[in-house]
Structure formats: structure tokens, C-alpha cells
Structure 1
Amino acid sequence: MAQDKAEKVIPIPNGYKFLFGGTAGMMATCFVQPLDLLKNRMQMSGAGGKAKEYNSSVQALISIIQKEGVFTLYNGLSAGLLRQATYTTTRLGIYTWLFDLFTFDGKPPNFAIKASIGMIAGVCGAFVGTPAEVALIRMTSDGRLPPDKRRNYKSVIDALLRIWKEEGITTWWKGAVPTMGRALVVNAAQLATYSQTKQWLIGTGHFQEGIICHFFASMIAGLITTAASLPVDIIKTRIQNAKAAAGQKQPALFDVLTVIIKDEGILALWKGFMPYYFRLGPHTVLTFIFLEQFNSAYRRLHRHDNN
């Protein structure tokens, strides 16, 4: 009890909050990267009116391991880590700044304001993280291309430099609008459903505030968030994976949407549902676990320093 009290009175500076948040997101990515690759491959299956490569996520997983090896599941990890370093850190920084801005006399903002600043922070973070997102999409999708058409990026730095040289620096922000749109939907859905789900679980009397409750609340909220955001995500993936020839106009959001529905059917907008869902929930839970460990370690260290 005394220990908890001591930990509560030790504030964590904003700079450390950003560092811990970004690092926690990067660590969680190391666990869920194979699901990101699987999700992107499923979303690219059947693109351009071609025959579907995979009928299910399980078939895709087995096929990728058999044809490309198990380590292929971690292709694009450097891009995934950079995405977390840019997106998560920016989102957390802006959210914390706005949260403090709307806190008056020690009273935190209400739920509507929290949701609003969460969405604003998510959109800003998505814009900053789009270059890493473009590299991630391409690196995870490369193995499905014929050998002579693969980009063979060596790392996220190599990917970004080659994209700049071969396609122009504006390509770094290809698909930025749907990327920001997805962040808007994800943050809105997560904030609303996670809070309400956690409250409902605790209200049943079978759960108490803690990691088990957070896990189940995250997975239930993730189901709703996945259904809401996946159509925007698949459009983003298709746009960012396309390589435009010199002078060729980038495909527009609604053009891609129309082509997908026309060639593949409306249900194609939810391709890769399972890997996307199983990535979203665990990534949130793992990020939370790592973040709490960093916060606790900081408080323990500074409590000893103060003593």
C-alpha cells in the first residue's frame, strides 16, 4: 500500500512518456509483425482482377512458410519498428499535450473531449508515420511478386531512399488520406468501445480492473474496430503498394474502392479480417503491458534516488 502511494506521487516527465510509449509500441510490433505481413498479403490477394492467391489466412500462412521460409514472416520488421517510433510517439505526444491543455483545476476532460483529442492525435500521428507505412506495405508484399519485379528493399532506410530516388519524395506520403482516415476510425472506435466494454465487464462482477480485464476489453473492442476500419485499410494498402510510372497519376481513393467492389465484390473490403483483428487486440495489450513496466521501473528508480 505504501509502495503504491509512493509510486503515485512520482510524476513521469512528458519526454519519458513519449519515449516509453514509442518503445512499448516497437516491442509489441516484434510479436505481431507476422500478422501484419499476413494481413497485407491477404489484402493484396486478387488485386488487379487477378485470381485470388489465398482462400484463407491459414492457407496464406502455410503457403508463405513453404515457398519463402518462416523468416519471411518478419519481412518489413524495420519498417514496422520505424512506424511505431514515428506514429505512436507523435500520437502520444500530441494526445498528452492536448489532454493537459483541456485539464482545468486538476479536472480531466470529459469523454467527448478525450475522444476528440484522441482522433486528432491519431490523424497527426498517421501523417507522420505514413512514409514508414508505405515502406512496410511494400516490404511485406514483395514476396508475392515475380522475382524479376520484386523491389528487394534491404531495410526501411533503403526502401525510403529508393522510393525517393525512383518515384519522388511525395511517394512517401502515398495513401496518406486513407491512412489518416483509418487512424480516425480506429481511434474513435477504440476509445468508444474499449471504455464501454471494460465498464460492462467489470459490471458483470466476473472481472476486476487489471490486465485480464484489459485483455478481454481490448479483444472485444478490437473486433468492432476491425470491422469499422478494415475497408479503409485495404484501400490504403492497395494505393501504397502500387508503383506509379514517371508522370503517372496516383490512383484516387474512390477509384480504388470502385475497382475493388467491381472486380472482387464488396466482401473483399474485409480481406485479411482475422490477421488484422488478432494483430490489433494483442498489440494494444502488449503495448499497455510494456508501457506499465517502463512506468513502474522509472518510479522505482526515482523513488530510490529520492531516498
Structure 2
Amino acid sequence: MTDPKPLPFHFQFLAGAIAGVSEILCMYPLDVVKTRQQLSLGKNTAGVIGTLGQIIKSEGAPALYRGIIPPIMVEAPKRAIKFAANEQYTILYKNLFGIDKMTQSLSILTGVSAGVTEALVIVPFELVKIRLQDKANKAIYSGTWDALTKIVKQEGIFALYNGVESTIWRHALWNGGYFGVIFSVKSALPKAETKQGQLLINFISGAIGGTVGTIINTPVDVVKTRVQGYKGIGPRKYNWALPSLVTIAREEGMGALYKGFLPKVLRLGPGGGILLVVFEQVSSLIRKHILVEQKQPM
């Protein structure tokens, strides 16, 4: 049995965009907590709830959504690329290798390829977001446009691509784990007999995929945050991913490579489920209502 025919690219893009925005609106405060913990050079003692409480108490509840404009701006193309590129790479690799049915190895390969593509698009948006989420920058940047213009003016246009290598690592690892695990979990679970059962399978497989992807990519995410947090003042401590991993582990201990892991996995575990459920639901609606109507004779 062959896999379902992929949607046309523009419909894949639309479904991915809707899925991404849905996920970020639900889970963004945990991303702020993750960034704060990853930027901290000391031991994180407050925990997720404690950090959320500290932010609300000292900076107000709106601070939980500080820096959300850049990810909202990029979330549609970012998540759209995640799924649309994954589908397009699936077509490419199936034709290249002469196969018509998905395998776990192919799922991992397409996921890694989509992750690299996604990373190249989002680096400037991620950098601005990290700068805005950093409490130390509250008095420096008043908002998204102010941060963008100051970064370009003070550090140069190419500073917007600081951390591109670690971002590629982060997204390649996460997407490879995410799509690879989704394939395995869906294959292991019994076939759903109802629409509600299919929704549950999609959420479970997406949540497990998001969790595994997070376990795999958190160390390079810590590096990415440190690299993009550098404002061009003083010597650059973190640059390339692998040497930075060694530096962090040597100076702060191996546990520091998983700073921000709990808020990250709390976001991207369920968030991965939300992503897949919304993407599959929107794709199903498009196939049922739009593509069918387009095929009907006038």
C-alpha cells in the first residue's frame, strides 16, 4: 500500500502555517523561561513555575510574551517549511531511491533535510527573539523593530546570522527525531477506527516525537542561545557548536548542556502533538472540501 498523495505545496504551506501559529500561541511563555535558563551561567534553582512567577512579579504578565512578534512573523513560514519541505523531500527521495512507501530511515532523512531548510530561513528572527527575551536587554531594546535596527546599526547586517551553524544543528536534530519517531509510533499503534482515535494517535505520536527531538537537540539549543545572546561587546566566548559544547561542559558541568530542558520539553512535547494534530486536521479539511470541489466538473 502506497502512502497518501501529498498536498500541493501551497496547501502544505497553509496547513503548516496554521499549525505553527496555533502551537506558539499556546506554548510561548515556556519558551521565554527556557531562554532565561539557558542564558543563566549559574545553577537554575527556581524551576519552571518559580521562573514564571518571578517574571510576572518583577516584570508583569506581558513579559511572558516579550519577543513574540519575531516568532509570530516567522512561525507561519517556519512551520510551513517544516511540513511542506518534509513532504517535498519525501517526494524527492522516493523518486531518487525508487520506493513508494515510507520507512523510518526515510522519515529521518526527510526530517533532517527539512530541518536544515527551515533553519536557514529563521536565524534572524530567532536572534531578535533571544535578544528580547533576555532580561538584561529590557532597557536596551524597546521592541522588535528597535532591536532589529540597533543590531544592524551596532553590529552589522551579518550579525543577524550569528548562530546559523548551531541553528542548523538544532533543527536538523529535532526534525530528524520528530519525524522519525512519529513514523515509528504510528506504525506501532493499532490503526484508528474513528476520527477521534486518529486525533489521539496523531497527538501521542507528535508529543513523543517532540519529546525525543528535544532530548536530542537541547545541548546545541543551549549553544545557539548563548551565541545569539552575544551583543558584540568584549571577546566572543561561544561561536561554533562543537567547541562551545566542550566549553560549557568543562566550565559548568555536563548538566549545563540541558539547561532549559524542562520548559523546552513541556513546550515541544505537547507542542509537537498540537503541531501534528492541527496540520493533519487542516490537511484533511483541504483534501475533503477544497481539492474535491476543484476536481468536480463545472
| TM-score band w.r.t. shorter chain | 0.7 to 0.9
The answer to whether the aligner puts 1:269 opposite 2:264 as a matched pair is no
Give the secondary structure class of the aligned counterpart of 2:133.
helix
Q: Report the alpha carbon displacement of residue 23 of structure 1 after superposing the two structures with TM.
A: 2.8
Distance 2:37 2:214 in 1: 15
Q: Report the alpha carbon displacement of residue 279 of structure 1 after superposing the two structures with TM.
A: 1.0
The answer to whether the aligner puts 1:125 opposite 2:118 as a matched pair is yes
Match for residue 62 of structure 1? 53
Q: Report the alpha carbon displacement of residue 44 of structure 1 after superposing the two structures with TM.
A: 1.3
Asked if the contact 2:81–2:117 (Cα under 8 Å) also holds between the matched residues in 1, the reply is yes
State percent identity of aligned pairs: 28
Distance 1:130 1:64 in 2: 26
Asked if the contact 1:99–1:108 (Cα under 8 Å) also holds between the matched residues in 2, the reply is no
Distance 1:138 1:257 in 2: 21
Change (3 A) 1:197 1:102: closer
Change (3 A) 1:295 1:200: closer
The answer to whether the aligner puts 1:152 opposite 2:141 as a matched pair is yes
Match for residue 76 of structure 1? 67
Asked if the contact 2:19–2:79 (Cα under 8 Å) also holds between the matched residues in 1, the reply is no
1:38-92: CA deviations, max 9, x gaps? 11111112x2xxx446432221111111111112111111112133233223333
Distance 2:165 2:229 in 1: 15
Matches within 5 A, 1:93-108: 93-104=84-95, 107-108=100-101
Match for residue 236 of structure 1? 224
Asked if the contact 2:177–2:212 (Cα under 8 Å) also holds between the matched residues in 1, the reply is yes
Asked if the contact 2:86–2:114 (Cα under 8 Å) also holds between the matched residues in 1, the reply is yes
CA RMSD of aligned residues (A): 2.9
> Normalising by structure 2, what TM-score?
0.84
Asked if the contact 2:112–2:175 (Cα under 8 Å) also holds between the matched residues in 1, the reply is yes
> Normalising by structure 1, what TM-score?
0.81
Change (3 A) 1:158 1:23: farther
Distance 1:163 1:74 in 2: 21
Asked if the contact 2:29–2:65 (Cα under 8 Å) also holds between the matched residues in 1, the reply is yes
What letter is aligned with 2:157? Answer: I
Asked if the contact 1:244–1:250 (Cα under 8 Å) also holds between the matched residues in 2, the reply is no
1:237-267: CA deviations, max 9, x gaps? 1111111139x65732345334422332210
Change (3 A) 1:89 1:160: farther
Match for residue 41 of structure 1? 36
Which of 181, 184, 208 is 1:193 aligned to?
Answer: 181
Distance 1:294 1:93 in 2: 13
Asked if the contact 2:115–2:176 (Cα under 8 Å) also holds between the matched residues in 1, the reply is no
The answer to whether the aligner puts 1:19 opposite 2:14 as a matched pair is yes
Distance 1:109 1:212 in 2: 21
Which of 128, 135, 145 is 2:128 aligned to?
Answer: 135
Which of 167, 172, 189 is 1:179 aligned to?
Answer: 167
What letter is aligned with 1:100? Answer: I
Asked if the contact 1:190–1:222 (Cα under 8 Å) also holds between the matched residues in 2, the reply is yes
Change (3 A) 1:293 1:209: closer
Q: Report the alpha carbon displacement of residue 171 of structure 1 after superposing the two structures with TM.
A: 1.1
Structure 1 unmatched runs, 5+: 1-7
Change (3 A) 1:226 1:92: closer
Structure 2 unmatched runs, 5+: none
Asked if the contact 2:210–2:273 (Cα under 8 Å) also holds between the matched residues in 1, the reply is no
What letter is aligned with 1:69? Answer: G
Match for residue 224 of structure 1? 212
Change (3 A) 1:258 1:30: same
